Chains A and B, each alone.
Chain A
């Protein structure tokens, strides 16, 4: 390729912690041609974002570029003065951040922020840039392109903000845009709209882009070429299709294989069996705002019920009703046929013991001041009344069950553990109460795919050996495929569809289930193109308008 836009050579980045500099990126080369889209993938902590920012000649506080060169269109960004770099940033190199909600200034209207770049860089007048902004909003299929710019960020939904941010990045018609996980925080149905918009506009203006993500299926839709990073090193780089069909490195292959985990189907539930947990006609409200409407479903022993839906669909609220944290306004919860008091304060210790929870953010769900041993020992003592040696033996057994060596982990603090290990501690704490039923609230969504798979396998094994039932709250349909026996689809506080997994993944579906299923990105690089054709491009725009 002769038209090289960006050339990074031997870039090493270091981050500071406790007064010492530790390597984040150990010498990565990166070349990008004009108009090319490069996908940058890897687990969290692989240094993707840091490398993406370094491509702009920018480092966050506490990070430095210790070696290497970054050359953008013949300009050495590492040697250029601050003023020269400011002249390039925003004008020729733009950035789209992961969380548009946090990256838009809450004090200014969208359009004010949109025109700032063009006017400050002297590319366009304010009036020209505003007119152009409206045009870009229209191209990105934002609803009300004429007036949406005059809203404040908090008045616009997440998916819309992400598109408005892409428009803002486009405002000076840059040569290069860095997309830093732009759809990670979005629901699948919103993600697809944003992906389609981004891809369109990048193609239309022939903008080069670095697309950073941990989602392989997403990168397959967006990138011409893919570069895989692992712990600061490049694993391999190849053309998207080659990479998907014939990865050469073991690590890449393992990444690709993650989605293959699937539990065998179980025999259907016997109709007369008493469900271990039964949610019966539950309505619930936060204050005066109703959130759940007539929610009913059953969960049986030794089985996993996946509850899926977008954020705000009432999945977690249902869990709160089952645990008694949020007493329903009407309807009831029964365990093994016995109706539970609605409020957890009125339940007996034994009733409380039967329902345990594992949380999404293991980081915040574990007390940072308590050692692993203490964290697990608390429910052992509280529910089981064990003390002294018996207690210690029980904690050791639990640590064994979650595949962590007791002698090594007993005295550690949560901060010394990795994300996956912390989630395992969360599981052990739930098991300590010897429950029959565990609510798993998005337990894998904060984890990388490989680690998440490990957690799913562990949960499956525990279910087989202990006969547990799980209520598995998730928005990720790949996880549903992997672990669920039954599926409950929720939308706007109602159950839209429910049934065995095999039925759910087979048509005909409820239209909403269909939308959810078809919105999950697949590894096929033509998936998005085909899907858009299938739905009709206008249709997607309309769906976006209708949804907001």
Chain B
């Protein structure tokens, strides 16, 4: 086990290093966006003095490097900064402090995580089961049908799939609400009901990858001598696949699942917009529009962290699925 632990720590350290590099990339990229908050908020009639005043207030006049380290230091101490937009709003009303980025992002991020979890709960079991069945009944009508269905759902634009689902599940058969305007303090079942339609849309989007990888990873192993052995021991085809092929096919499957989960956390803006779901994707897009740099940076960093963390988890699980590493000689 010491072996596995050291691999895990190694990966963890690498993950942190990656995150640091990504933070630099994010910071530089965001600051290279054309236009800035001060010019945007003051409009076309802004005098150079007032623009300079706001820039000084926001710290935008400092050098890139010192701003980066200020930001990084804040991040490390848990201070994500203060949203430009909220700051002005508060200041104009005579309030102090303003809403921090953390306060702004936290509920949105929780919503996104909720949506991602619900989707994962539905999509992962369906995808893996379908993949196993497709491998079992490979090259039959079932296999082809499953492939065609999942592939066409992944090939259609997300918003189209969303509207198709709304049409069938909210308009023609009003089972589920078409608007997912969830808010704080909602009870769980209401929340779940409102989240179901976007979750189903996302399920259609992510299932194909995972299912096809499960199928391919299993079929890849079917020519192995130990699979032939299992058949020659008189085991049923289902048992051969689930008991003998699947445990050896886990690593690639886990990786594809992780990739799709990361997508669920970071890439679902379109679905959020269609269902008016208050997730982090919408906040991100809005903040980019008004050059609210602290929010944009924080969102980017959260997305990057989600990717790195999920891939790290996948790596570690793949390692654990390999008995050679779990039980060294």
Query: Given A102-B224, A107-B248, A108-B247, is A58 in contact with B234 using a C-beta cutoff of 8 Å?
Result: no
Q: How far is the CA of A58 from the CA of B232 in the complex (A)?
A: 8
Query: Given A99-B225, A154-B329, is A106 in contact with B323 using a C-beta cutoff of 8 Å?
Result: yes
Say how far A115's CB is from chain B's closest CB, in angstroms: 11
With CB as the reference atom, state the residue of chain A lying closest to B327: A152
Determine whether B244 belongs to the interface, using a CB cutoff of 8 Å to chain A.
yes
With CB as the reference atom, state the residue of chain A lying closest to B324: A154
When distances are taken between beta carbons in the complex, the residues of chain B under 8 Å from A85 are: 234
Q: How far is the CA of A152 from the CA of B328 in the complex (A)?
A: 9
Say how far B156's CB is from chain A's closest CB, in angstroms: 36
Q: How far is the CA of A492 from the CA of B107 in the complex (A)?
A: 65
**What's the A-B contact tally at a CB cutoff of 8 Å?**
76
Interface membership of chain B positions 213-247, coded 1 if the CB is closer than 8 angstroms to chain A and 0 otherwise:
00000000001111011111111100100011001
With CB as the reference atom, state the residue of chain A lying closest to B222: A61
Query: Given A105-B226, A154-B329, A155-B329, is A58 in contact with B323 using a C-beta cutoff of 8 Å?
Result: no
When distances are taken between beta carbons in the complex, the residues of chain B under 8 Å from A106 are: 226, 248, 323-324
Q: How far is the CA of A151 from the CA of B324 in the complex (A)?
A: 11
Is B226 touching A90 in the complex (CB atoms < 8 A)? no
Say how far B195's CB is from chain A's closest CB, in angstroms: 37
When distances are taken between beta carbons in the complex, the residues of chain A under 8 Å from B244 are: 105, 107
Which of A104, A107, A120, A121 has the largest count of B CB atoms less than 10 A from its CB?
A107
Query: Given A61-B223, A106-B324, is A90 in contact with B234 using a C-beta cutoff of 8 Å?
Result: yes
Interface membership of chain B positions 231-275, coded 1 if the CB is closer than 8 angstroms to chain A and 0 otherwise:
111111001000110011000000000000000000000000000
Which of B224, B229, B230, B234 has the largest count of A CB atoms less than 10 A from its CB?
B234
Q: How large is the interface on A (under 10, 10 to 19, 20 to 34, 35 or more residues)?
A: 20 to 34
Say how far A41's CB is from chain B's closest CB, in angstroms: 22
Q: How large is the interface on B (under 10, 10 to 19, 20 to 34, 35 or more residues)?
A: 20 to 34
Interface membership of chain A positions 155-190, coded 1 if the CB is closer than 8 angstroms to chain B and 0 otherwise:
100000000000010000000000000000000000
Determine whether A75 belongs to the interface, using a CB cutoff of 8 Å to chain B.
no
Interface membership of chain A positions 65-103, coded 1 if the CB is closer than 8 angstroms to chain B and 0 otherwise:
000000000000000000001111111001101010011
Determine whether A389 belongs to the interface, using a CB cutoff of 8 Å to chain B.
no
Determine whether A493 belongs to the interface, using a CB cutoff of 8 Å to chain B.
no
Is A88 touching B234 in the complex (CB atoms < 8 A)? yes
Q: How far is the CA of A108 from the CA of B235 in the complex (A)?
A: 15
Q: How far is the CA of A403 from the CA of B171 in the complex (A)?
A: 83
Determine whether A60 belongs to the interface, using a CB cutoff of 8 Å to chain B.
yes
Q: How far is the CA of A104 from the CA of B233 in the complex (A)?
A: 12
Is B327 touching A117 in the complex (CB atoms < 8 A)? no
Is A107 touching B234 in the complex (CB atoms < 8 A)? no
Q: How far is the CA of A157 from the CA of B236 in the complex (A)?
A: 29
Is B234 touching A91 in the complex (CB atoms < 8 A)? yes
Q: How far is the CA of A58 from the CA of B227 in the complex (A)?
A: 13
Q: How far is the CA of A175 from the CA of B236 in the complex (A)?
A: 21
Determine whether A308 belongs to the interface, using a CB cutoff of 8 Å to chain B.
no
Say how far A298's CB is from chain B's closest CB, in angstroms: 37
Is A90 touching B232 in the complex (CB atoms < 8 A)? yes
When distances are taken between beta carbons in the complex, the residues of chain B under 8 Å from A108 are: 243, 247
Q: How far is the CA of A121 from the CA of B235 in the complex (A)?
A: 9
Is A105 touching B324 in the complex (CB atoms < 8 A)? no
When distances are taken between beta carbons in the complex, the residues of chain B under 8 Å from A58 are: 231-232
Is A103 touching B323 in the complex (CB atoms < 8 A)? no
Q: How far is the CA of A90 from the CA of B329 in the complex (A)?
A: 29
Q: How far is the CA of A104 from the CA of B225 in the complex (A)?
A: 8
Q: How far is the CA of A90 from the CA of B235 in the complex (A)?
A: 8
Is B248 touching A105 in the complex (CB atoms < 8 A)? yes
Is B228 touching A103 in the complex (CB atoms < 8 A)? yes
Q: How far is the CA of A107 from the CA of B327 in the complex (A)?
A: 11
When distances are taken between beta carbons in the complex, the residues of chain B under 8 Å from A86 are: 234-236
Is B226 touching A103 in the complex (CB atoms < 8 A)? yes
Say how far B32's CB is from chain A's closest CB, in angstroms: 46
Interface membership of chain A positions 307-331, coded 1 if the CB is closer than 8 angstroms to chain B and 0 otherwise:
0000000000000000000000000
Query: Could you give 27 example pairs across A and B, Cβ below 8 Å?
Result: A53-B232, A58-B232, A85-B234, A86-B235, A87-B234, A90-B232, A90-B234, A95-B229, A102-B224, A102-B226, A103-B228, A103-B229, A104-B229, A105-B244, A106-B324, A107-B323, A108-B247, A116-B235, A120-B235, A121-B234, A151-B327, A152-B323, A152-B324, A154-B323, A154-B327, A155-B327, A168-B233
Given contacts A90-B234, A116-B233, A154-B324, list 12 more A-B pairs with CB under 8 A.
Answer: A87-B234, A94-B233, A99-B225, A104-B226, A105-B226, A107-B323, A116-B235, A116-B243, A121-B234, A154-B327, A155-B327, A155-B329
Residues in A lying within 8 Å of B, measured CB to CB: 53, 56, 58, 60-61, 85-91, 94-95, 97, 99, 102-108, 116-117, 120-121, 151-152, 154-155, 168
Residues in B lying within 8 Å of A, measured CB to CB: 223-226, 228-236, 239, 243-244, 247-248, 323-324, 327, 329
